[in-house]
Structure 1
Amino acid sequence: MTRNAGILEMFKRAHRTGGTMVEVFKSLSLFIIGASIIWSATHFYVHLIHRGYATLQDLLLLFVYLEIGAMTGIYFKTGKLPVRFLIYVAVTAIARYLVVDVDHLKAMSVLTMSIAVIVLMAALWVGDHIHSSED
């Protein structure tokens, strides 16, 4: 029995160590992602300051940075990834793409992306009404 108890204790320690390593990796990765978002957004903002003005596409990109940063911060604090923020990022990215490239897009592409935005917004609405307290 002593041998089995020793093996069981070894597996418990390995499980705890593995869990700790996963948590350290997750925290380090989130910190790197957060720092990269801040660095990229700051670099882009400094570029805007030097240019002297911001276009609508620039403001939409800043919103993408904001939404990804907020999503990362919430995940870092709560350990939960809010799906609604992923949808916000997708809607903003599609809107930015439409604003930037509207002159170069075919009507069918514009229609498809517009339908995608409607579907994403419907998903948010359904999520709000079905799971009002959870994401």
Structure 2
Amino acid sequence: MNLYQKYGVTSLKVLEHAILIIITIATITAIGQEVMHVIDMRRVSLADLLLLFIYLEVLAMVANYAESGKLPVRMPIYIAIVALARYLILDMKSMDDWRIIAIAASTLMLASTVIIIRIGQLKFPYPKLPSEKKRQANEAEPD
């Protein structure tokens, strides 16, 4: 690897970590704002709980990505499902029938996608990387 590639990869990793920190700070700030909103209103609604759950999923996704360096496709889909449920709960009274059906169909399609992805992961797993094989071999050796 030449010098430019080395610094390019290092720069991208630093930028990636900086953006993860920004996302984490923004999510924690949003959680604080939502908690303050609940305290001000002195009432917790289902919409508030679902919004907090979305924030929790975002934090879990950031933690997972920071820990493993991989972003499971299912996590953003879970967030989308909860966001659609929240949207449906909040605005159902003002929606026409076709919009409700479209949102329900979209949620069903996303849930089906999660199932298909999970089945695919179980039936057709990715081959292990050499670094993962070495790590597993080291863990399996007796002390």
Q: What is the TM-score with the length of structure 1 in the denominator? A: 0.87
Amino acid at match of 1:45: V
| Per-residue deviation, residues 79-107 of structure 1 (Å, max 9, x unmatched) | 11111111111100000000000001010
Gaps of 5+ in 1: 1-10
Amino acid at match of 2:59: G
Shift of 1:50: 2.4
Distance (whole Å) between structure 2 residues aligned to residue 101 and residue 50 of structure 1:
22
Q: Partner amino acid for 1:33?
A: I
Counterpart residue type for residue 98 of structure 1: L
**Pairing partner for 2:109 from 99, 119, 123:** 119
* Alignment partner, residue 93 of structure 2: 103
RMSD value over aligned CA atoms?
1.4
Specify the SS of the correspondent of 1:81: coil
- Structure 1 stretch 125-134 or stretch 29-38: which is displaced more? 125-134
Runs of 4+ with deviation above 4 angstroms: none
Matched with 1:8 is: none
- 1:49 matches 2:42: no
Quick one: which of 13, 27, 30 aligns to 1:37? 27
Q: Equivalent pairs: percent with the same residue?
A: 31
Structure 2: runs of 5 or more not aligned: 127-143
What is the TM-score of this pair, normalised by structure 2? Answer: 0.82
Instruction: Please give the alpha-carbon distance, in whole angstroms, between the structure 2 residues aligned to 1:47 and 1:108.
Output: 32
Superposition map of 1:17-96 within 5 A = 17-96=7-86
